Structure 1
Amino acid sequence: MKTFDHLSVIGLREWINLPELGMVGLRAKIDTGASTSCLHASDIQPFQRDGEDWVRFTAHLGTLVQRRHRCEAPLVTVKRIKSSTGHVQSRYVIRTHLALGDRLWPVEFTLTCRKTMRYRVLLGSKALVDGQLVVNPALTYVQDKPSLADLSGAP
């Protein structure tokens, strides 16, 4: 059997931070069937800042206790995403740093309404590849929660 020393093992669910957006203690579901990661958002409004495209939105966090966090981020692009049910939707895409365990790296997230879903954040396969992660679906919360110090650690 092959082993990969440079890869970290994560479980089907993990705790993450999105420090550039000021968001900590998010539960993320790992979805290897999805290419792009996604974040539950509403009130999505594109705007211009210094001639660049940006987007502001309300991120919705938590499942039992609902938390809302107003965010702004540079707009990367708008993507057409096909859901597992075949529904096609245009979504805004942002790039922000993700902290998982002791790792911190940039990840692209699509913004979409996930109010009927249990998890407000999905991590797709591109984020896993970029973060050099492998998934053991029999495990959950393998990595330690990212520390609050990660909030200041983003480039």
Structure 2
Amino acid sequence: MITVGWRELVNLPELGLKGVPAKIDSGARTSSLHGIVVDEFKRDGEKFVRFEVFFPGSKVMQVCEAVHVDVRGITSSNGETQLRYVIKTPLQLGNHTFRAEISLADRSDMKFPMLIGRSALRRKFLVDSGNSWLQSPGREPVKGHKP
């Protein structure tokens, strides 16, 4: 098992997104990405969704397209159930790339534009909640907190 910290930088290569700050949250089942859905369409008979991402500090809005696998009721951190688009795309965490299901949500009020849930972590990663950036190239790992 690979150890990750409670926050990491991840890449979503098929979406063209690099260095996305992500909170690792084993309490959440489904991973989530800040994305505002613009359009749903078909390409070669397959359902796709087009969405906009905007990360604080970057001042750049990017339009992404991904295979749309489902619309699901997802319970948010405040206990409300929201219908969200779910995409499936490669996720790179450290040197490890795997396909993950990711719901698209308005996370503009959240500190992290992405949340990695336990379904993506299962059987691959161990979370060390006292550390950060353990699998984030270019970031100095932060070991615990001083009292």
Please report the TM-score for the alignment, with normalisation by the length of structure 1: 0.84
Map of 2:127 onto structure 1: 135
Structure 1 position 74, deviation (Å): 0.8
Structure 2 gaps of 5+ residues are 139-147
Paired with 2:92 and 2:21, the residues of 1 have a C-alpha distance of 12
- What is the alpha-carbon root mean square deviation over aligned residues? 1.4
Q: Residue 14 of structure 1 is aligned with which of 1, 8, 11?
A: 8
Aligned residues: 138
In 2, distance between residues paired with 1:21 and 1:46? Answer: 16
Identity percentage of aligned residues: 41
Q: Distance in 1 between matches of 2:39 and 2:7?
A: 30
Structure 1 residue 89: deviation in Å? 0.6
- Equivalent runs, 1:56-95 vs 2, <5 Å: 56-61=50-55, 63-95=56-88
Does the residue aligned with 2:8 lie in a helix, a strand or coil?
strand
Structure 1: which 5+ residue stretches go unaligned? 1-6, 147-155
Please state whether the residue corresponding to 1:64 is helix, strand or coil. coil
- Counterparts in 2 of 1:51 and 1:34: CA distance versus 1, 3 Å: same
2:24 to 11, 30, 36: 30
Aligned with residue 144 of structure 1, among 122, 131, 136: 136
| Cα distance in 2, alignment partners of residues 66 and 32 from structure 1 | 30
Q: Please state how far the C-alpha of 1:64 moved relative to its aligned partner.
A: 2.9
Q: Secondary structure at the match of 1:92?
A: strand
Conservation of the 8 A alpha-carbon contact between 1:16 and 1:145: no
Q: CA deviation at 1:8?
A: 0.5
What is the CA distance between 1:48 and its match in structure 2? 1.3
More strand by share: 2
Deviation at 1:103, TM superposition (A): 0.4
- 2:132 maps to a residue whose letter is T
